[in-house]
Amino acid sequence: MAQHVQPVVDVSPPQPPDRRWLAEAVRRIHADANRSADTHLVRLALPAHWEVELYLKDESTHPTGSLKHRLARSLFLYALCNGVLRPGSTVIEASSGSTAVSEAYFARMLGLPFVAVMARSTSPEKIALIEREGGRCHLVDDAGEVYDVARRLADQVGGHYLDQFTHAERATDWRGNNNIAESVFEQMAQEPHPVPEWVVVGAGTGGTSATIGRYVRYRGLPTRVCVVDPENSAFLPGWRGDDPEETHACGSRIEGIGRPRVEPSFVAGVVDRMIGVPDSASVAATRFLHERTGLRAGPSTGTNLYGALRLACELRQTGGAGSIVSLLCDGAERYAGTYGNDVWLAERGLDVTPYAEVLRRAWDDGVWTG
Ligand SMILES: Cc1ncc(COP(=O)(O)O)c(C=O)c1O
């Protein structure tokens, strides 16, 4: 008996996505990248006879002033190309500040409203920066609430929660595409030790360390990744295998890095070592960097520098030679009223004094006394 032809099930969305709007949105983001020069790789002036070189990738020179310019660009392209952003979509993010500053910039470029959900303790300078980029700040008392509040807000207004903590590791192309790792290795190519022994970074979402750790493995490079972690963060205890119940990570005082939980974009498998850095040491290192180089950076750069100097001393102590690369994540101007203010530091029991000598011995003598 002849089989009858079953009709296909043909479904189209009631409101097909506006592909012309989408194409224009993607074009604008590419044009922004095309207008931007790559960030500098700065060689720090350690004693020449050491055969140990230290470099900082200066991400503060991005149009929105931090390493988060790259992530924000990737997150918007990821959301656009996943078809979840449309004309007029409200974009929402849970951010301690830097990411929101960069996302507000891209949202305005696409003509989309932007809301950042963040802890009320975030520096007023960062809040002002987000508002200057056309964003709105939704402040919450408990930093741990930012995720749920952002998700709820997105549901309420029919907007989209970009969710950097979940998507950072997958929105960034870790194989290349001018990601931060590819840029660093290209800029190291003519240096005495072009393949670094270590790349030292902090973790906020974990996206930067994931991108660099995957890239060096993808390229078959021996470079190892060391993640520095501030006090009260869950990353180091989590990576070490401590029982989360025992960790009591209440969130870090160093803006941008250290988290109350191990974030989904933190890829432990590509981290070769972790160093816990005291918060006062992070602030001391930021000041020491300015004193020795004139570079003005935020506290998470101090955390990076303190860890990188420890590894430089170790390399020297073991008679090794090689290069170490770290990041200058953002500029000091964002922290003038906080980490740049001695009264603010004293009120929080942060004392840079004991670390000045540790940093001097490390930088001048290559001896670690921390
Ligand atoms: C100033 C600053 N430094 C470092 C980081 C860490 O970067 P990632 O989120 O890629 O781990 C962040 C993240 O927010 C940051 O804002």
pTM metric for this prediction = 0.94
CA distances from 13 to 10, 16, 18, 213, 316 (A): 10, 5, 12, 40, 63
CA of 28 to the centre of ligand 1 (A): 25
Counting ligand 1 atoms within 8 A of each CB, the residue from 60, 66, 73, 184 with the most, and so the one to mutate, is 66
Asked whether the beta carbons of 273 and 199 are under 8 A apart, the reply is no
**Angle in degrees, 0-180, between the axes of helices 19-35 and 68-81, rounded to the nearest 10:** 160
Chain mean pLDDT for the chain: 94
Alpha carbon 238 to its chain's center: 19
50: pLDDT strictly greater than 70: yes
In order, the DSSP letters of 75-107 are: HHHHHHHTT---TTPPEEEE-SSHHHHHHHHHH
For the segment 143-198, what is each residue's pLDDT rounded down to a tens digit?
888 999 999 999 999 999 999 999 999 999 999 988 999 999 999 999 999 999 99
* Nearest-atom index, ligand 1, CA of 300: 3
Which of left, alpha, beta for 264 (phi over 0: left; psi -120 to 50: alpha)? alpha
114: pLDDT strictly greater than 90: yes
Burial class (CB in 10 A: 0-12, 13-18, 19+), 329: buried
Asked whether the beta carbons of 199 and 257 are under 8 A apart, the reply is no
124: pLDDT strictly greater than 90: no
Query: Which protein residues are within 6 Å of ligand 1, measured from CB?
Result: 66-68, 98-99, 168, 202-208, 256-257, 298, 300, 329-330
249: pLDDT strictly greater than 80: no
The b-or-e profile of 337-353 (16+ CB within 10 A means b, else e) is ebbbeeeebeeeebebe
| Residue owning tokens 């520096």 | 123
pLDDT confidence of residue 7 = 93
Alpha carbon 202 to its chain's center: 7
Q: How confident is the model at residue 356 (pLDDT cuts 50, 70, 90)?
A: very high
- For residues 320-335, average pLDDT: 95
Q: Which two tokens stand for residue 215?
A: 């890239």
Q: How confident is the model at residue 363 (pLDDT cuts 50, 70, 90)?
A: very high
- For residues 80-88, average pLDDT: 94
250: pLDDT strictly greater than 80: no
Q: Which two tokens stand for residue 26?
A: 């993607």
* Helix (H) or strand (E) segment spanning residue 327: strand 322-328
248: pLDDT strictly greater than 70: no
Cα 88 to Cα 152: distance, rounded to the nearest angstrom:
18
CA of 257 to the centre of ligand 1 (A): 5
HSE of 101 in the Cβ direction (CA atoms, 13 Å)? 25
Asked whether the beta carbons of 90 and 161 are under 8 A apart, the reply is no
Backbone torsions φ then ψ of 48, nearest 5 degrees:
-60, -35
Cα 98 to Cα 59: distance, rounded to the nearest angstrom:
12
pLDDT confidence of residue 155 = 95
Q: How confident is the model at residue 55 (pLDDT cuts 50, 70, 90)?
A: very high
CA of 22 to the centre of ligand 1 (A): 28
Q: How confident is the model at residue 20 (pLDDT cuts 50, 70, 90)?
A: very high
CA of 41 to the centre of ligand 1 (A): 18
The residues pairing with 202 across neighbouring beta strands, listed in sequence order, are: 228
The residues pairing with 200 across neighbouring beta strands, listed in sequence order, are: 226, 326
CA of 209 to the centre of ligand 1 (A): 10
pLDDT confidence of residue 251 = 78
Asked whether the beta carbons of 105 and 86 are under 8 A apart, the reply is no
- For residues 44-67, average pLDDT: 94
pLDDT confidence of residue 119 = 85
Q: How confident is the model at residue 88 (pLDDT cuts 50, 70, 90)?
A: very high
pLDDT confidence of residue 343 = 95
CA of 205 to the centre of ligand 1 (A): 7
* Nearest-atom index, ligand 1, CA of 202: 6
pLDDT confidence of residue 1 = 64
CA of 266 to the centre of ligand 1 (A): 12
* Nearest-atom index, ligand 1, CA of 211: 10
For the segment 188-223, what is each residue's pLDDT rounded down to a tens digit?
999 999 999 999 999 999 999 999 999 999 999 999
Among 237-251, 300-314, 336-350, the range scoring the smallest mean pLDDT is 237-251
Asked whether the beta carbons of 237 and 292 are under 8 A apart, the reply is no
- For residues 262-281, average pLDDT: 97
Share of the chain above pLDDT 70, in %: 99
Domains delineated in the chain: 37-65+172-365 (3.40.50.1100), 67-168 (3.40.50.1100)
* Nearest-atom index, ligand 1, CA of 298: 1
Counting ligand 1 atoms within 8 A of each CB, the residue from 75, 277, 329 with the most, and so the one to mutate, is 329
